[in-house]
Amino acid sequence: MQFSAIPGHQDIKQVLIKAAQNQKVAHGLLFKGQEGTANLTLAISFATYLNCEQPTDTDSCGECSSCKKMSKLAHPDVNFFFPMARNENVPKNEPPSRQYFIKDFRNIIAKNPYLNENDWAETIGVANKQLSIPVDEARVIKDSVSLVAYEGKYKVVIIWLPEYFNTQAANALLKILEEPQHQTLFFLVTNEPEQLLITITSRTQAISVPQFDEQQIADYLIAHEGIQEKQAQQIALLADGNLNAAIKMIAHETDPFFPFFSEWMRHCFGKKVIDMVDDTDVFAKLGREVQKSFLLYSCQMIRKAFVMNKQVPELVKLPKEEFAFIEKFSPYIHLGNIDHIFEMLSQGYTHIERNGNPKMIFLDSSLQLMQAFRQPAP
């Protein structure tokens, strides 16, 4: 993976490249950013750059044998560690270890390097289990850096989601970080830096990776997913800075409206008026046909929540993430408010159809929803 595959983030890329050129790369780097940011892809691209045989001022070459190995995440001097849980590939008498998962990891990163831990858990067939990085993995990390780099200039250990270390493993990692080896680097890639031990974060240099903006997400979707500009723009708007959400919408793993709908409901329920106004701006940009589809989708989801509340969840067929949301949301949709909510959404639909002002319609619906959620169940 090269820097050029990541939209935007020029400032971070330049800081990293300068550090490499001046041979001043910190022994431990903490790439921190929310889900769907470039935290992992920047770490991988930087490891590629560091071991590239012919790097330029802006990127790795992409052609040399080191870059080719990195493109398959199969460079012998760059090792990946990640959360895991026992699955059928792990022999019964052995603890889970990266060797049983690395092939899956390479495959999923090739498809979607912006994935979250739930996507990963599903990939390795442990969606209902607790992920962790077991303490034995700290020993494997130590072994992986005990030899000098034999092909590349640097040995790099990339730990994806170190927040999944249990305490014992985190302490073992701390020991390793405290004893830096020559030309050995640790890249910690976290979505939740506040979950890490302060002793770990204090031994790393933090790189804050901001969310993608709408244009960057649209550019990525056009370049990597081969979709048309207009559709890319719409999905980018709904994805709200999360490139993973956008990629999953295109793969139809979630409904394109789901992230926006769930956020909207959370804001209305939590009386977050400023966020509701932001949602209104997004809605206004969607275009009339999409606005109508969104209101219909909202009606369907509200109906599903009502059915769920009536204790017939088997009638509710939805992808996992949407099902989980509706399950939590269902207590707040009941006979005391469902008629009012439906009436309000269908009125919104009619007004949009008759060229009403989408901002006014959406904001009014948001305020009415906020009140409807306060109605007691009969």
Residues that bind Zn ion (CB under 5 A): 52, 60-61, 64, 67
- The full DSSP string for 42-84 is HHHHHHHHHH-SS--SSS--S-SHHHHHHHTT--TTEEEE--B
- Asked whether 313 and 327 are in contact (CB, 8 A), the reply is yes
Closest contact distance (angstroms) between CB of 317 and Zn ion is 48
- Asked whether 37 and 211 are in contact (CB, 8 A), the reply is yes
Closer of 61 and 222 to Zn ion (Cβ):
61
Token pair, residue 244, equals 């993973």
What contacts 24+ positions apart, CB below 8 Å, involve 87-92?
A: 87/124, 87/125, 87/126, 88/125
Closer of 154 and 342 to Zn ion (Cβ):
154
Closer of 60 and 262 to Zn ion (Cβ):
60
From first CA to last CA, the distance across the chain in angstroms is 57
Token pair, residue 23, equals 């041979």
Closest contact distance (angstroms) between CB of 61 and Zn ion is 3
- Cβ neighbours of residue 151 closer than 8 Å, sequence gap 6 or more: 51, 66, 75, 76, 77
Closer of 52 and 333 to Zn ion (Cβ):
52
**Half-sphere exposure (Cβ direction) of 126: Cα atoms closer than 13 Å:** 19
d(CA 268, CA 373): 8
Do strands 184-190 and 205-208 pair parallel, antiparallel, or not at all (unpaired)? unpaired
Nearest alpha-carbon partner for 67 in 50, 81, 79: 50
Closest contact distance (angstroms) between CB of 13 and Zn ion is 16
Closest contact distance (angstroms) between CB of 3 and Zn ion is 12
Closer of 67 and 237 to Zn ion (Cβ):
67
What is the identity of the amino acid at 69? K
Closest contact distance (angstroms) between CB of 58 and Zn ion is 13
Closer of 50 and 209 to Zn ion (Cβ):
50
Closer of 45 and 60 to Zn ion (Cβ):
60
Closest contact distance (angstroms) between CB of 49 and Zn ion is 8
Q: Please count the other Cβ atoms lying within 10 Å of the Cβ belonging to residue 284.
A: 16
Closest contact distance (angstroms) between CB of 221 and Zn ion is 27
CB-count burial class (<10 Å; 0-12, 13-18, 19+) for 354 = exposed
Closest contact distance (angstroms) between CB of 65 and Zn ion is 8
Closer of 153 and 303 to Zn ion (Cβ):
153
